[in-house]
Chain A
Amino acid sequence: MEVAKKQLRIATRNCGFIDPENIEDYFGVRGYEALANAITASTPAAVIDEVKKSGLRGRGGGGFPTGTKWSFAAANQVPQKYVVCNADEGDPGAFMDRAVLEGDPHNIVEAMALCGYAIGASIGVVYIRAEYPLAIKRLVKAIEDARAYGLLGKNILGSGFDFDIELKYGAGAFVCGEETALIRSMEGSRGEPYTKPPFPANSGYWSKPTIVNNVETFANIPAIMVKGADWFSSIGTEKSKGTKVFALAGKINNTGLIEVPMGITLEEVIFEVGGGCPGGKKFKAVQTGGPSGGALTYKDADVPIDYDNLLAKNSMMGSGGMIVMDEDNCMVDVAKFFLDFTMDETCGKCTPCRIGSKRLYEILSKITHGQGTEADFEKLKTLAVNIKDTALCGLGQTMPNPVLSTMNTFADEYIAHVRDKKCPAGVCTDLLEIVILPEKCVGCTLCARVCPVNCISGKVKEAHVIDQAACIKCGACIEKCKFDAIVKK
């Protein structure tokens, strides 16, 4: 079967093709060649230059130019620096990092060593969540094998360069994916962020210059070094080079991991790569950037996906979670879902995030329960903007994004909830009525028998009626009815 090949796999180039537990398989795909060439025949400045020239930007979501970040750490003349790999993947529905670590762990080991050489660090630390036991197992084996072959340790390939990697386990706190909280957690303190500057590249882990890069960022490095910066920068858009890995989830036929060139349109991702929404339902929106991002809608179908375009659309690249929603999703409910997540995950250090998230959630709850007023819109907006401006770290600053973005693009749905007390998507149960259409009902009694609260009455072969006061809107009758006579209104 011939299909359009819209995907280009660089970061995930070896996933599914080599045995991750066999270092020799990695040698077969020119493994450790980039590292060997760099440490024996190149200079740290040349490595940083190549990464800079490639245009690679941080894949954890922020999009900061990787080479520039490295050069900051390299400029610090101190004996001890650190390379940290952020494998604390926590966005709902995202699993790109786990896939890379489980499928191609040596790629990350090699990239971290390259970074260590470039900035002058001899110790690398992978901060990985303890919920990823298989990724940990494969990574530990990769590190041990690399040591056994002399690719980690003292005096690698006789070049005089020392580098080794250790693991630190995270307990699955979302905020620890934020680099300053991650560093605190690695030091054994509470995983709470601190204000920047100082940036970790100048003063991070144990107050030493520290480069924190995401797994996917590292996964691109060996490919850039082997194939060259010019090759890499020829892919993508003007300001966003290379590819991005996304985890497609939600109401989409081909759920899975995809890696696409920057600049691909949303339409291509959803319909050509993702195969559209199941059951022929209408595509409504996609949440990128997880709980920190925003919704892109069917109206944005032709927007080329890159860092800057997503920001312009009030969303963000994020680490790569893409949750697809169809016509059956209520956008107020979606915003509430993400708020519920951040409300749970706020570390509590700063007031805007700790209390602000709770208040935002309460207002959204009020709206979905049909008790919202038009004054709530203003309250939501003011509160959201204030939280954005005053929260301490990225988690708090981006937490109101799902609310602002859905209010912006789906204002009609918010208005329907408040003014008409209706949920257009039929999700918010307090705003629903389930009714039997008398002209379609044949009186088979099936619905009355399945109703858990016995609120459906009627005689055999006569139209039935639902007692709205008693109905709990479970929808069991709708599923049972063979004549499509029961509908949500």
Chain B
Amino acid sequence: MAKIASIAELKKLQEKNKAKVAARKDKILVNVSLATCSIASGGKAVMEAIKDEVTKQGLSDVEFMQSGCMTFCYAEPTVIVTLPGKEPVCFGKLDEKSARELVQKYLKNGEVVDNVVPVNYVRVEL
């Protein structure tokens, strides 16, 4: 990868990444919290279960990403799902079974399942 030599080049990279995020809008985005604690409470198994179920259900256009702490320790493992054109929804206390149910109901049909974690913060975006 080339070194950034100027602010203009940095801005280009920023724009490129904003475009990448915008392009995701037509896809289902599954963001799995994978900090040490989320992994300890089963985050990786949940991610695998969702991936497997997505294949089984024949869903295309699903993108996965890992992120850090989602701050809801009491509800780990947590996953934020963004359906096209909808607000992101955080689901918690997942295990393999409920993760599969999440795919069958919410990802496939937009049908909200239990375990929704209410988001109680405002995030400062730069």
Map CB proximity to B onto A82-99 as digits: 1 under 8 Å, 0 otherwise.
000000000000010011
Chain A residue numbers with a CB within 8 Å of B72 are: 254, 256
Chain B residue numbers with a CB within 8 Å of A40 are: 6-7
Chain B residue numbers with a CB within 8 Å of A12 are: 69, 71
Q: Flag if B69 contacts A150 (CB, 8 Å).
A: no
Q: Flag if B121 contacts A7 (CB, 8 Å).
A: yes
CB contact list, A151-197 vs B, under 8 A? 151, 157-158
Q: Flag if A102 contacts B14 (CB, 8 Å).
A: no
B73 within 8 A of partner (CB): yes
Q: Flag if A13 contacts B124 (CB, 8 Å).
A: yes
Chain B residue numbers with a CB within 8 Å of A95 are: 37
| Residue of B80, B116, B118 ringed by the most chain A CB atoms within 10 A | B118
Identify B66's interface contact among A13, A19, A132, A222, CB under 8 A: A19
Identify B123's interface contact among A13, A24, A102, A133, CB under 8 A: A13
Q: Flag if B80 contacts A16 (CB, 8 Å).
A: yes
Chain B residue numbers with a CB within 8 Å of A419 are: none
Knowing A20-B68, A99-B68 touch, does A7 contact B37 (C-beta < 8 A)?
no
Chain A residue numbers with a CB within 8 Å of B73 are: 255-257
CB contact list, A82-132 vs B, under 8 A? 95, 98-99, 102-104, 132
Chain A residue numbers with a CB within 8 Å of B17 are: 24-25, 27-28
Chain B residue numbers with a CB within 8 Å of A254 are: 72, 74
Q: Flag if A253 contacts B69 (CB, 8 Å).
A: no
Identify A3's interface contact among B21, B66, B120, B124, CB under 8 A: B120
B3 within 8 A of partner (CB): yes
Q: Flag if B20 contacts A24 (CB, 8 Å).
A: yes
Binding site for B on A (CB under 8 A): 1-10, 12-13, 15-21, 24-25, 27-33, 36-37, 40-41, 95, 98-99, 102-104, 132-135, 138, 148-151, 157-158, 222-223, 226-227, 253-259, 273
Q: Chain A's nearest CB lies how many Å from the CB of B4?
A: 5
Cα distance, A133 to B118, chains bound together (Å) = 30
Knowing A1-B116, A27-B10 touch, does A15 contact B68 (C-beta < 8 A)?
yes
Identify A16's interface contact among B39, B71, B118, B126, CB under 8 A: B71
Cα distance, A102 to B34, chains bound together (Å) = 9
Map CB proximity to A onto B18-57 as digits: 1 under 8 Å, 0 otherwise.
1011000000000101011101000000000000000000
